[in-house]
Each structure stands twice: as structure tokens, then as C-alpha cells.
Amino acid sequence: MDDIEFLEEKNPDEKFQYAFNSGYTLAKYQPEVLTEILFEIEQKDIRGLEGFKWGKWQYENEQDLKKLKEFAKIREKGKDYEKDKDFDRIW
């Protein structure tokens, strides 16, 4: 059974979830392949695989959030450093 037959047997929610998970995994491990797939989907106007786009979007948002948290930690360390520096100036 190929992937298309597998998807045809599933209900729309399961199809979306399968495509979402596939899109997320490809965004994480093979973003170039996902970019090619999404290009083909848009060229052929395949609506049933919107989950790929949503999975990619979710993965990218998680990565952005992770980066923001890292930047916040760096900023806090910088503020602590500045406080210590100001304290040293007083004495």
C-alpha cells in the first residue's frame, strides 16, 4: 500500500494529522525536501495535504520560541552583569 492509498482510507482529521506530523518531521530533519514537496503541492493545488504546511509552521514557531527564550536568558545575564558593575562603582 503506498502513501496515497493509505491517506485515502483515512478520514479527513486523520489525513490532516498524518500530513501535519509528516510536515513537522520533515521541517525538523529534511527542510529542503519539505520545501520541494510544498512547492509541488502549491503547483498542483493539492488541498488535502495542508497539514504539511501546518506541521512546518508549528516546527518553525517552536524553534523561534526556543531562540527567544535563549535571548531572554542572555539578556538577563547582561542585566545582572550591569547591576554588579553599578554596585562596584558605588564602592
Q: What is the pLDDT of residue 13?
A: 79
Q: Higher pLDDT residue, 11 or 33?
A: 33
pLDDT digits (tens, 9 = 90+) for 44-90: 766 656 788 888 899 999 999 999 998 888 888 777 666 656 555 55
Domain that holds residue 17: 3-90
Which residues, 6 or more positions from 69, have their beta carbon under 8 angstroms from its beta carbon? Answer: none
| HSE-CB for 90 with a 13 A CA cutoff | 6
Total number of domains constituting the chain: 1
Q: What is the pLDDT of residue 27?
A: 92
Q: What is the pLDDT of residue 1?
A: 45
Residue recorded with cell 520545501: 35
Distance of CA 16 to the CA centre of its chain: 16
pTM of the full structure = 0.51
